[in-house]
Amino acid sequence: MSKQVLMVTGASKGIGLATVLAALRAGYQVVGTSRNSDTLCQAVENAVPELAEHFTAVAMEFDEASIARAVAEVKDRFGRIDVLINNAGYAVLGAVEEFSAEEVRANFEVNVFGLLSVTQAVLPIMREARGGHIINLASISGTLTGPAQGIYSATKASVIMLSEALREEVRPFGIQVTAICPGGVRTDFLDNRSMRTPERSINAYRVVQQTMDSLDDLNHNQSGNPQLLAKVIIDVASMDDAPARLYCGRSALRGLETKLGEVLHEAKEHSALGLSIDD
């Protein structure tokens, strides 16, 4: 039996690269996408030279034509895609008012529409095979948010909702869908070269600047280990009955518990008003 084929988007660094390496060690035939496939190949060769023959890098941008070409290339070469891990994405931080529509669209283009386009390109392959697993990297930020995080959180909330709806739609085809929702993980995600801020700055939003300062202090000091998260992702990929959502890390679980408590308390406190719309 041929190796299962696992495809990771945004594979050149951070969680994406860690997931590629974990998948190779788990015995998958791995495909990683990146804007620079040569750099990605070199990173894998340096990390696991003994497994590099089981890795293929595919250059891919986040437009529909590039995505279609990349997925077709994988299908032509291997004839299958058993696991898709939608990891590509980036953070934007700033006050909601500060962002231009173009800046917001750009974040959604990668974090949501890019993920959607890759998924739509891969689904016919999985439906024909009557099986597969789509794992979408969301975030605890898709469940709870705060100052400076509104736009990024909106993209990740979209990923979670898309994942849950898709999960029910493709269940009859034997396809699973899981949204992975990590808390803080030690990568370069919050570095200036990775994270983006709006061009416009409004000094009145002191709470936003305070949040940005706190995140800067947290950067590279998060409790989450990217290698351990990658192992969890690969463990989920092999599960026969994987969860719809998996919250990963202490910060994610604590945040989830707090948020659920706040939502339920507020709903009960104002239930009479909320229920007054029913005849």
Active site members: 152
Q: At what angle do helices 115-129 and 150-170 cross, to 10 degrees?
A: 10
Burial code (b: 16+ CB inside 10 Å, e: under 16) for 174-183 equals ebbbbbbbbb
Counting beta carbons within 10 angstroms of the beta carbon of residue 36, is it exposed (0 to 12), middle (13 to 18) or buried (19 or more)?
A: exposed
Residue that has been written with the tokens 């990683």 in this structure: 32
Cα–Cα distances in angstroms (integers) from residue 78 to residues 7, 211, 273, 279, in the given order: 11, 46, 57, 58
Question: What's the CA gap between 55 and 91, in Å, rounded?
Answer: 28
Residue that has been written with the tokens 């009859």 in this structure: 172
Question: What's the CA gap between 5 and 32, in Å, rounded?
Answer: 11
179: three-class secondary structure by DSSP: strand
Beta-carbon contacts of 200 under 8 Å, excluding residues fewer than 6 positions away, are: 98, 99, 100
| CA–CA–CA angle 47, 138, 253 (5° rounding) | 100
